[in-house]
Every structure is written in structure tokens, then in C-alpha cells.
Amino acid sequence: MQITMTVNGTEVTAEAEPRTLLVHFVRDTLKLTGTHWGCDTSNCGTCVLLMDGEPVKSCTVLAAMAAGREIRTVEGLAQNGELDVVQKGFMAEHGLQCGFCTPGMMMSARALLDRNPDPSETEIRTAISGQICRCTGYATIVRSIRWAAAQ
């Protein structure tokens, strides 16, 4: 089936099986590999991207369900060669170690800051609560998001 959606500001149309998950459509069909594929059970959150501005676990969404929607991946954060403030925050505050969870964390952070430009630590922790990081213990991730909010 043909699926048309807007990805990172560009309308794309591609062929996909009806059962294709959005994570695989983005990674394999569109070759945007910044969105990671982890557990395949919606537990880890590495596959988070934004659909119509809201974070979704793309391993739980069929690509066909994203037809006509606005999709934003981690590749769409930087604009005109300038890193997004969230990306800068993760660099400034060392919000990553192995980096596997980082794209999903940054997308959840971007959605949070779009809704609430000055979140509390509790709001930040709630926003990223559906994602697992096995390296950082979350303190540096929270500091990264707070840094981004302060900018």
C-alpha cells in the first residue's frame, strides 16, 4: 500500500506492507536511522518520535496509521545546520553515555518543552518515565532538559 505522511517537514510517499510498524517504515524505508529500535514491546522507549507533536512509541504504531500525519524524528531536530536546544543540552550536561536511548529521550524532551517551556524536575521525570536508560541513572538527562529549558 502507498503511505503518504510529512516527515521532518517534507511530504513523503512510499510503499509498505499494511503490517509495517512506523519504526521500520522510518528506519528501513525512509533510511532515517536515528530512531532506534529496541525491545519491540513498547517497554524501552528508544523508538519515540513525534506524531502531530506528541511523543509516540513507533514500535506500537502501524505506518498506515501515520498516513496524513506530521512525523518528526531526531533527524528533524536540527534546523538550518543549527542544533536544537535539546541537543545542545544533552551535549552540555552529558545527558548520554552509550547513546541508545538518546534519540527517544530528546524527542520526549522536545515535546515537553513545546508544551511547557519551564518544566519542573517532576514534570521532566514524568515526561521521560516511559523510557529506559541503563547508563545514566537519569540525573544527567534531567539536567540536560533543565539546561535546554533555561535557554
Q: How does pLDDT run along the chain (151 residues), one tens digit per residue?
A: 999 999 999 999 999 999 999 999 999 999 999 999 988 788 888 999 999 999 999 999 999 999 999 999 999 999 999 999 999 999 999 998 889 999 999 999 999 999 999 999 999 999 999 999 888 889 999 999 999 999 9
What is the pLDDT, as a whole number, of residue 39?
84
pTM, two decimal places: 0.95
What is the pLDDT, as a whole number, of residue 137?
81
Q: How far apart, in whole angstroms, are the C-alpha atoms of residue 15 and residue 12?
A: 10
| Burial (CB count <10 Å: 0-12, 13-18, 19+), residue 123 | middle
Domain 85-150 falls in which CATH fold? DNA polymerase; domain 1 (1.10.150)
Residue boundaries of the structural domains of the chain: 2-76, 85-150
The CATH architecture of the domain made up of 2-76 is Roll (3.10)
What is the pLDDT, as a whole number, of residue 80?
94
Compute φ and ψ for 26, nearest 5 degrees.
Answer: -65, -45
What is the pLDDT, as a whole number, of residue 136?
80
